[in-house]
Structures are given as C-alpha cells and as structure tokens.
Chain A
Amino acid sequence: MKNFARTLLFASGLVLLAHYLPAGYWLLATKLRRPPIVYYSCTEKEFMFFRYTNLTAIRMDAHGKVYEREEFERILPLDHWMQLLRDGKLPDAIGGVTLAPEALRRERLSFRIKPAMIDTPSVNLTPLLDADTGRVRLEMPEDFMRLGSTIEFIHAQTNVIEREKSALYQSAFKAAGFVFPATVMGGNPSTTKPYDEGYFVADATGATFHLRQMRGKPDIRRVSSLASPEDKPKWEALKPLYFHVQEQDNREVHTIIVDKTNQAWFVVGKNYHLVPIPLKNYNPARMSLVVRGDLINRLVTATGDDYVEAVVLDRDYGLVDRYSEPLVARASTPAGKLARAIFPFTLRFEDVSSGYLGVFPEFGSSIALAVNGALLAALLAWLANRKQLSLSRLPEILAVAIGGLYGVILAILMPKPD
C-alpha cells in the first residue's frame, strides 16, 4: 500500500506541477501579443492593418507603409464614417455609391463567432419570441421551449408544461417533415434587436429548418424547400454544426452556419441563398470568425493563435480579394521556446476551444527531453553513489524520467522510502 500511495503522490504532484509551474512562468513572461485587426480600404482597394507592438499600436498597409490616424481614417471611410462626418470629411460617394448616414448605419454588419460558442454547456430551454406580435417592440414570452425528442413549452411562472401549445407545435413540426430529435439549434433569445429571426434547427437527419412564432402560431419550414433550385442540393447535403443568429438592421443575413466539414456559410435573402465563405484554413475549434460589413463590402476575418486569414466579398458575395498571414504563436516566441525547453509537458484544464473543462496537454521540445535524460542520469548516479538505488526509489526515478524538473522538485519535497 505504501508504495502505491507514494507512486500516486508523485503522479499527483506531476499533474499539479505541470499545471501550476508553467502558469506561474507565463504570469511573469507574458507580453502583449495581439493579432492584427484587418481592414479593407474601398478607396485604395487593398488591405489595411492595425498592428500591436509591445509599446504602441500602428496603422499600416500591406506594403508596410505607416499611416497617421487621420490618414488611416480617410482611406477607410466606411469604417470611420461617424468621425469623418463629424469632421466634415466624409465623401459624398465612393464608386458611385452615395454615402448617406442612414444607409451607412443600416448597412453595417457585425458578427463574431468564437470557438467556445460552438462547444459550450447549455440547457435545452429557450424562449421562442413572437416575431409578429403587432407591437413596436419585441417582448419576452411567458414560456420556454424545450426542443429535444419532442417539443414542449413550459410556463415559467407556474413551472407547468403547456399541453395545448406543445401539441400545436408538435403537429406543426410533423407536418413540416421534422424528424425528432433536434440535433443543433441556434437563435438569439433577446429582445434588444431590430426584429426576431427565430431559430434555425437541424433535425435527426441533419436537415435544416427555420422556426418562428408568428402571432402565437408556429411557423416552421424546411429551408431546402424555400431555397432556389440551384441551392437545394447544397441545403440537402449540408450537415450543420453551429447556427449563429444575430439580427442586423438590414435583415440581409438570416444566419451564419458552420458545418461539420469546418466550412462557414452565409444564409442570405428571401431564398435562403447559401453562400460559402471562401476561407482556406478556417478551423472553428481554434479560430475566431469576425464578419464586418458596410455599404460596399463584407470583410470576413478568421484569427487563430498562429494564423490570420481574411477575405473581402462584394455586396453580391463575390470574392474581391483575400489575405493571409502567419502569426508568431506563443510557443514560437523566445519565452515560449524557453518554456518548451524547461517544461517537458504542460497541463491546462481550460482552453479557448471549449466552454467545458478538460485536460489540454502541451508537450515540450526535444531540449526538454534531453534535460529529462540528463536529470535522470544525475539522479541514478546520485542514488548509486549513496547505495540507495532500489525498487523503492522507482517513483522518484519515473517522476524525473517523465517530468524532468517537476520530478526533481518532487524527489526533494516528497517523503523518502524507508
């Protein structure tokens, strides 16, 4: 028992040191390291950047030319139109498009999808707002919808299932050809938005449905049946992983879909036109996706720890330009290289890729393995010299062989065998 307990003590110690020592190291060694903010100038027809350094932030173009703030704002008029309007420098039109303040405000698009939004704990209860109450403002309903192997509505105040309404929706789902259970659902359960898009839901077969409540009645449609003939096969083949619904003033984009092949799609217009976002290396588990739109273009940027990629689309979602840039990942900075040489492995329990806790290991470089070997040889020599090289020392030996520096700390601190 005592040998098992000692071994377990060393194993637990390794886990704790592999978590806390690197965390402490990064507390001291972390420097400001932000990816660039990518813009697209509709006047210069090229990408512009807001780059961060340790000391300051600089504005530059793709050729490295640095701009002062006023100049930068002038060549990005649609991103800074309010400031330009205030300064009286907003042009009347660009490329034949009139820059009216109301249109500039209305046509702005903004979406952000983070990896943890796709994989996060949730409760299968959500309010289904009425998209057409006849009132000026959206109102919260009094019940929550539970959509799983059936559809049910629960009245929040009384905590009782509303049988009649649930049956009404159940039959509407069946009439629309929905196959229970629902597998993916996305909506924006808020009243602070210009209108209600409802929910996009994937059924057991992966088919996508659009659900809304209109004047108290269910409105559920299979999206492929609403799409144009050329989009229909794409909708039938689509296997959604995540629906991002975020109502915008111009009501152009119904939702952004990330499918199971890591392809992101816009769903646009009355015919639910399915537009692939032409990013080449978007990984939804590791990268944030940001969409910014204006009167002339849509700029989509995917940013990860070591890579940023951007595409510009016109108002018809045709590709205008693309940009990509490798970034220096934290592990590749001098501090990161030192960490990978000192620590043979690092354990984190939280990660940007998920809202769930888990075990997220990172492994050190070959230098760390060499350090492990050297420390192990030194320990064996020391034990042999003191005539203590025996099986009872196996926990220390294994800890140093696996954990290097961690093992040495444990060998010093933890109880010795008899």
Chain B
Amino acid sequence: MFKSLLYKEWIKLRIYWLLLFIVNLAFCGFLCLRLRHVFRINEAMAVWSNWIFKGYLFYRICEYVPLLLGVVLGCLQFFPETLSKRLRLVLHLPLGESRAASIHLVAGLLMLATVYLPGLALIAVSSSLYFPPDFQANLLLTYTPWLLGGLAAYLLTAFTVLEPTWRLRVVYLLFSAALLRLFFLEDFYNSYLRIMLSLTICTSLLFVFPLLSTYRFGKGYGS
C-alpha cells in the first residue's frame, strides 16, 4: 500500500516535478555562470574579501527559491485533492487517515528534496573551482535554513490547503507567513549556526500539522 500510494503521487506529480526540477537546475546553472562571470571581471582577492568580510554570497539571490518551490509543490499536490474532495477516498483506505496522509507528505518531501539537492550540488561543485573548502562549509551552513524553510513551506502549505474551513485557512496562512519569516533572518553567513539543530527539529515537527488538517477534513468540518 505504501509503495502504491507513493507511485500514485509520482504519477500525479511527475510532470510538475520535472518542471520544478528543470527550473531549479536552470536557476542554479545561471548562478554558476554568474559566479564565473564575477571571477572573470574581478580580482579573486576582491571576491574572497567581499565574501569573508562583507558577507556577500553570490547565491543569496536564490534565498527564496526553495520556499517558492515548496509552496508550489504543496499547492499542486493538495489543491486538486481538496477541490474535488478526492482526499475522502484516500482517507477511507484501510491504512488509516494519519498513515495515508503521511505517505502523501513523504512523497512530496522526497520529490522536493530531489528538486533541491542537485541544484545545491551544482552550486557546491562550481564554487569549489573558485573558493577554498571553507566556502563549502559556509555554503551549506548558510543554505540549510533556506532549504529547511522550503520544506517547512511545503508542510505549511499542505496544512493550510487541507484545512476544510476558510476561517482557519486564513489563520493558518498568517501563522505560516509568521513562522516562515524566521527561516530568513540571516543577513550574514552562518548566522543560524547556534540554532541550526533546533531549527531542524522544529521543521521536522511541522510534519504533524497537515495530519491535523487531514483529520479535520476526514471529520467533515466545513462541509
């Protein structure tokens, strides 16, 4: 049943996944070309100094890309389910509501991770040509809150979209916006270093929120 549901989600979303994958990879590719350009028209010393002392990071332009991808995938995956009430069919499977909803979320998170990681790897490989290994650690530590923000955005989108009543959808929307802002407080590299573990744990805990909405959906609130 687990594999079947994963496969169902894959069939449903594969075209969108491919599009998001290509968009993300193309954007990361653009950043790599931009980095090459920056090193061609500036002295390496100046670029390194800007990175180390002024906190200039060439990939900062993609700060909100994981967030956007998370929201888009969450909407694409769950809007159709709620609009036509198709979710009710899934919730009646012998698997149980929570488990069925969890499998949907795992499918979405896996797809999102496979969209993010190749792009990040491309940036890491490309930057290793121009920067020392210290930069890779720096890149990962700075990029991680944005990736977590993307995963959180996906889960919070599912949480909001799956909620059956409009009043709570509006509340959840405000709640999500307030929460997601906390993933983007960084104005210098490595700022999140001391709370990275807490941020990761908090992001993982968000997994239960869509399950609450699914439960309420199954109970027939708002209909």
Contact = CB atoms under 8 A, between A and B. Distances in A.
Interface size class of B (residues with CB under 8 A): 35 or more
Interface stretch (B13-21, B74-82, B115-123, B207-215): B207-215
A415 B162 CA distance: 14
Contacts of B138: 123
If over half of B's interface residues share one DSSP class (helix, strand or loop), that class is named, otherwise mixed; here it is: helix
Contact of A144 (B48, B129, B195, B209): B48
Contact of B194 (A5, A356, A418): A356
A227 B9 CA distance: 73
B84 to A, nearest CB: 23
Interface string B164-203: 0000100100010011001001101111111100100010
Given A16-B178, A156-B44, A356-B194, A5 B211 contact: yes
Contacts of A1: 98, 208, 211-212, 215
Contacts of A162: none
A292 to B, nearest CB: 25
Nearest to B129: A159
Nearest to A154: B132
B196 to A, nearest CB: 10
Contacts of B202: 12
Contacts of B175: 12-13, 16
A357 B45 contact: no
B22 to A, nearest CB: 30
A336 interface: no
Interface in A1-44: 1-2, 4-6, 8-9, 12-13, 16, 19-20
B52 interface: yes
Contact of A349 (B48, B131, B182, B190): B182
Interface in B108-137: 129-132, 134-135
Contacts of A373: none
Given A123-B134, A357-B185, A415-B168, A8 B194 contact: no
**Interface size range of chain A in the complex:** 35 or more
A5 B185 CA distance: 26
Interface string A335-364: 000000000000001100001111100000
Contacts of A355: 188, 191
B193 A127 contact: no
Interface string A171-201: 0000000000000000001000000000000
A157 B194 contact: no
B38 interface: no
A115 to B, nearest CB: 15
A121 B190 contact: yes
A9 B193 CA distance: 25
Interface string A116-137: 0000111111110000000000
A142 interface: yes
Interface in B42-57: 43-45, 47-49, 51-53
B195 A5 contact: no
Interface in A234-272: none
Interface string A204-246: 0000000000000000000000000000000000000000000
Nearest to A16: B178
Contact of B193 (A4, A12, A121): A121
A413 interface: yes
Interface string A407-418: 000000111001
A140 interface: yes
Contacts of B132: 125, 144, 146, 154, 159
Contacts of A359: 195, 198
Nearest to B168: A415
A123 B52 contact: yes
Contacts of A13: 175
A124 B134 contact: yes
A125 B188 contact: no
A418 B49 contact: no
Interface string A134-174: 00000011101010000000101101000000000000000
Contacts of A121: 188-191, 193
Contacts of B130: 159
Nearest to A148: B134
A418 B209 contact: no
B219 interface: yes
A267 B215 CA distance: 67
Contacts of B171: 413-414
Given A1-B211, A357-B191, 10 more contacts: A2-B212, A4-B208, A9-B209, A126-B52, A156-B43, A355-B191, A357-B185, A357-B192, A413-B171, A414-B171
28 contacts: A1-B98, A1-B208, A2-B212, A4-B208, A5-B208, A5-B215, A8-B208, A9-B212, A12-B179, A121-B189, A123-B51, A123-B135, A127-B45, A141-B45, A142-B45, A144-B45, A144-B48, A144-B132, A146-B134, A156-B43, A156-B44, A156-B47, A156-B48, A159-B130, A355-B188, A356-B191, A356-B194, A418-B219
Q: Sorted from nearest, which 7 A-B pairs have the closest CB atoms?
A: A156-B44, A5-B212, A121-B190, A5-B208, A157-B44, A16-B178, A123-B52
